[in-house]
């Protein structure tokens, strides 16, 4: 089923109806009530941030929906014996659907003919495949693993069981984002602090100091506005939305905004060999026959004519062998990733078996092993004369050698991930020797460290997941166990896949990626779809995610300075029984030229440095030195002002300049190492703030900077700036 994007009303609601906006509106109403209209300028920043955030998210939504048309599932209907491929919304009750391996079930239906193995994990949570026969009901959202059948639609796709569930829970792209989760924590903490501090500041100013109502509201509002990191949440949304738009130009469908961020956190990338490292277009390279050629061709014609297989191996075999006469059959068993073989029971009592060498023979010959070491896929063809399909009961009829083409940019992409400290593991259903060879051709580190996991389970498989690099003969459930075992060892795991055998692992992974030429089921499960099936574009996805996280962390380090020092100054003012030293218009200047201006433009800059630590911890530890420096300078000015005959307005000016210049030092730190853009942004912030303080002092209600204030200003603020520059984190 499609993962729906947010509706436009939902986007409007999420951007407008936030706790930060509510607090800002309450403050604005109070200021308007007392006629302090000049101090309402901050609301324009809030409105601008909100509008820009809405526009970017709507643009991202349109890009996602546009690319989704290329990735949406299709269903094959049988009408009068003619197959017709349609989109899910065109299914009507009573239509006959054709179900085959790799297809997504787009509406609830009842099996009419044939049998299919179905992955129902997305609906029931059970990982084991379930075989459905005529009369059984299959729910929408399931995926066909193997087999072929016809089924009768019980309803339209919009009325199916899964759609009703989605409507009930209103499932959209919320939740796994560390950035958004961290900001939710900040919102809750700020909301918890701001109300009691606001009440205490107002009572102190109005009731204890006997200030006018207007003065009390203005002073209290300034303190509360300083605690709100205005625009940071919207800046994060803009950053993620911009990433979606940039990746859409590279034909990457991002189903969830936070998936870009999730991939950037991943330190292990699990790849499926076929369709990811290779193009997945198998072709028959050589055929070795152990029986008469005509008999062999007749057996293969029987398989091609009657099997329900629909995988790449079947397509290659069908393309290679010309039509010939065939045997009458009794039944077929389609290939599955669990069995590793398919069968056709002939009417004469024999059973034709095609599958992996280790499933059809007890001893694999040296020449076959050599071919596997060269990356070839070997398909054994055998005859079994009993009902028990075991290697001892199978007589080899021939061997089919298949080859696949390595993707052009596979080696280059592997090199990129290696340089970025992203460990690569190959999890394949193929023979581990063949998978190791392909991994070696791509220069994957430790490609000779491979294992056949067909005999492993439980704890032994979990231990192998950590120890080995290449995994062969992996079933769908074991793929999930390997991913889960890696996660248990404190790893963030991304998984790529293109088939139904990858579904369980894709759902388990921290970030799931599907190839555009893969099955509908894989594309509907994954958070990211590479529509051109270009594995190399993954480095662009990681780069976008790291750009967002690293740039937002740097910007948050500046935003949180004001939040921290505002809380500390409010407590200091309560202790010294004085009004908050600043007014809202002064806070707005800092919001605009020190926080918002450089952060907005820096958020678009490339920054693919490896993500280390967590967003909130990094941002707060980055902001602490500057906040402490500001608090210390303000405290010193409060203590020395009486001795130096500095009045309250002059003291407020010195405290304001402490805030401004130390915050500018923090901007300079976030811009290092300088390039032309970052140097321009840093110098512009300095010039705009300094110019505004000098030119617009009356408008900002700042005291004049007289010569007598220069010495104490320099003596206190310069050490604060030095402290700020020396300590990047605490």
CA atoms within 13 A on the CB side of 544: 27
Q: Which residues of the chain have pLDDT under 50?
A: 1-3, 166, 168-175
**pLDDT at residue 128, rounded to an integer:** 66
pLDDT in tens, 186-233: 888 887 888 899 999 999 999 998 899 999 999 999 999 888 887 787
pLDDT, one tens digit per residue, over 654-676 is 999 999 999 999 999 999 989 99
Q: For residue 533, how many C-alpha atoms fall within 13 Å in the half-sphere facing its CB?
A: 21
Q: What's the token pair of residue 151?
A: 């089924």
Segments in 424-492 forming alpha helices (H): 432-441, 458-467, 476-488
pLDDT value of residue 162: 63
Whether 272 is catalytic is: yes
Quick one: DSSP state of residue 463?
Answer: H
Residues 6+ apart with CB under 8 A from 82: none
Give dist(CA 116, CA 136) in Å, integer. 10
Give the Cα separation of 394 and 353 in Å (integer). 8
Residues 6+ apart with CB under 8 A from 634: 565, 569, 572, 581, 655, 658, 659
Quote the CA–CA distance of 251 and 243 in Å, as a whole number. 12
pLDDT of res. 71: 64
In angstroms, the CA 465 to CA 457 distance is 11
Contact 133, 157 (CB under 8 A): no
Distance (Å, whole) CA 626 – CA 565? 9
H helix and E strand count, the chain = 27, 21
CA distance 478 to 456: 9
Q: Which of 108, 119, 272, 540 is catalytic?
A: 272
CA dihedral 227, 233, 239, 243 (to 10 degrees): 160
Helices assigned H by DSSP within 532-647: 538-576, 584-590, 597-602, 615-640
pLDDT value of residue 170 = 37
Instruction: Quote the CA–CA distance of 40 and 98 in Å, as a whole number.
Output: 64
Q: What are the DSSP E strand ranges found in 237-340?
A: 252-254, 268-271, 283-289, 329-333
Separation of alpha carbons 16 and 8, rounded Å: 12
What is the predicted pLDDT for the residue at 7?
83
Q: Which of 75, 56, 61, 73 is nearest to 4 (CA)?
A: 61
Q: Which residues of 466-481 are buried (b: 16+ CB within 10 A; e: fewer)?
A: eebbbbbbbbbbbbbb
Cβ neighbour number for residue 424 with a 10 Å cutoff: 22
CA distance 47 to 411: 48
What are 107's strand-pairing partners?
none
The two beta strands, 109-119 and 130-132, are: antiparallel
Q: Is the pTM of this model over 0.85?
A: no
Token pair of 445, please? 């580190």
In three-state secondary structure terms, 187 is: helix
* Residue (of 576, 496, 584) closest to 535 by Cα position: 496
In 7-156, beta strands by DSSP E:
75-79, 82-86, 96-100, 109-119, 130-132, 137-138, 143-153
Q: Say if CB 14 and CB 6 are below 8 A apart.
A: yes
700's enclosing H/E stretch is helix 697-700
How far is residue 278's CA from residue 200's CA, in Å, rounded to a whole number?
66
Name the token pair of 622. 């980055």
pLDDT score at 59: 83
Kindly give the pairing relationship between strand 394-403 and strand 423-427.
unpaired
Q: What gap in Å lies between CA 572 and CA 582, rounded to an integer?
A: 13
Calpha distance 299→310 (Å, rounded): 18
ω before 205 within 30° of 0 (cis)?
Answer: no
What pLDDT does residue 610 have?
Answer: 84
Note the maximum CA span of the chain: 112
What's the first-to-final CA gap in the chain, in angstroms?
47
Spatial separation of the C-alpha atoms in residues 670 and 728, rounded to whole Å: 9
Torsion of CA 336, 341, 345, 351, to 10 degrees: -170
Q: How far, in Å, CA of 142 to CA of 1, rounded?
A: 9
Tokens of 252: 């990457």
Contact 472, 432 (CB under 8 A): yes
């Amino acid at each position: 089923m499609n993962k729906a994007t947010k509706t436009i009303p939902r986007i409007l609601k999420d951007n407008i109806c936030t706790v930060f906006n509510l607090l800002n509106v309450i403050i604005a109403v109070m200021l308007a009530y007392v006629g302090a209209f000049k101090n309402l300028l901050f609301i324009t920043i809030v409105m601008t941030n909100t509008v820009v955030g809405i526009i970017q998210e709507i643009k991202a939504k349109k890009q996602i929906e546009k690319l989704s048309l290329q990735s949406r599932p299709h269903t094959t209907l049988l009408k009068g014996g003619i197959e017709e491929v349609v989109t899910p919304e065109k299914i009507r009750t009573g239509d006959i659907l054709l179900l085959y391996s790799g297809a997504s079930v787009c509406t609830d239906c009842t099996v009419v003919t044939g049998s299919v193995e179905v992955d129902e994990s997305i609906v029931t949570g059970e990982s084991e495949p379930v075989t459905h026969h005529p009369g059984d009901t299959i729910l929408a959202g399931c995926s066909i693993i193997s087999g072929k059948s016809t089924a009768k639609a019980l309803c339209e796709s919009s009325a199916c069981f899964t759609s009703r569930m989605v409507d009930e829970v209103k499932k959209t792209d919320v939740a796994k984002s560390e950035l958004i989760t961290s900001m939710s924590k900040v919102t809750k903490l700020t909301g918890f602090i701001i109300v009691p501090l606001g009440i205490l500041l107002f009572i102190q100013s109005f009731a204890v100091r006997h200030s006018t109502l207007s003065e009390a509201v203005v002073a209290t509002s300034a303190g509360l506005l300083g605690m709100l990191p205005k625009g940071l949440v919207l800046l994060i949304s803009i950053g993620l939305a911009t990433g979606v738009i940039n990746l859409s130009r590279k034909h990457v469908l991002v189903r969830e905004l936070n998936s870009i961020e999730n991939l950037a956190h991943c330190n292990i990338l699990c790849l499926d060999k076929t369709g990811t490292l290779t193009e997945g277009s198998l072709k028959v390279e050589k055929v070795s026959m152990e029986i008469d050629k005509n008999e062999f061709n007749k057996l293969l014609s029987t398989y091609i004519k009657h099997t329900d297989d629909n995988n790449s191996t079947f397509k290659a075999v069908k393309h290679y062998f010309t039509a010939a006469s065939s045997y009458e059959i009794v039944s077929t068993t389609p290939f599955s990733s669990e069995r590793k073989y398919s069968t056709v029971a002939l009417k004469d009592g024999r059973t034709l078996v095609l599958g992996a060498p280790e499933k059809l023979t007890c001893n694999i010959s040296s020449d076959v092993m050599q071919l596997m070491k060269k990356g070839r896929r070997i398909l054994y063809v055998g005859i079994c004369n009993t009902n028990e399909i075991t290697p001892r009961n199978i007589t080899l009829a021939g061997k089919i050698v298949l080859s696949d083409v390595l993707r052009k940019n596979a080696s280059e992409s592997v090199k990129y991930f290696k340089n970025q400290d992203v460990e690569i593991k190959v999890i394949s259903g193929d023979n581990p020797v063949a998978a190791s060879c392909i991994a070696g051709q791509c220069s994957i580190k430790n490609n000779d460290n491979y294992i056949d996991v067909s005999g492993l389970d439980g704890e032994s498989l979990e231990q192998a997941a950590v120890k080995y690099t290449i995994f062969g003969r992996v079933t769908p459930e074991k793929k999930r166990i390997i991913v889960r075992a890696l996660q248990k060892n404190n790893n963030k795991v991304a998984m790529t896949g293109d088939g139904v055998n990858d579904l369980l692992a894709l759902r388990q992974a921290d970030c799931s990626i599907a190839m555009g030429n893969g099955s509908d089921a894989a594309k509907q499960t994954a958070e990211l779809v590479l529509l051109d099936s270009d594995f190399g574009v993954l480095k662009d996805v990681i780069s976008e995610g790291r750009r967002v996280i690293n740039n937002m962390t740097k910007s948050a380090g500046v935003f949180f300075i004001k939040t921290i020092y505002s809380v500390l100054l409010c407590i200091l003012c309560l202790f010294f029984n004085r009004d908050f030293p600043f007014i809202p218009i002064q806070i707005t200047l800092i919001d605009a030229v020190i926080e918002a201006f450089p952060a907005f433009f820096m958020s678009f800059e490339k920054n693919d440095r490896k993500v280390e630590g967590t967003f909130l911890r990094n941002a707060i530890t980055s902001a602490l030195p500057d906040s402490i420096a500001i608090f210390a300078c303000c405290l010193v000015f409060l203590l020395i002002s009486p001795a130096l005959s500095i009045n309250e307005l002059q003291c407020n000016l010195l405290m304001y300049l402490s805030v401004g210049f130390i915050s500018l030092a923090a901007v300079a730190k976030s811009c290092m190492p300088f390039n032309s853009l970052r140097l321009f942004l840093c110098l512009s912030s300095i010039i705009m703030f300094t110019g505004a303080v000098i030119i617009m002092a009356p408008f900002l209600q700042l005291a004049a900077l007289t010569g007598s204030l220069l010495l104490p200003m320099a003596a206190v603020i310069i050490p604060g700036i030095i402290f700020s520059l020396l300590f990047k984190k605490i």
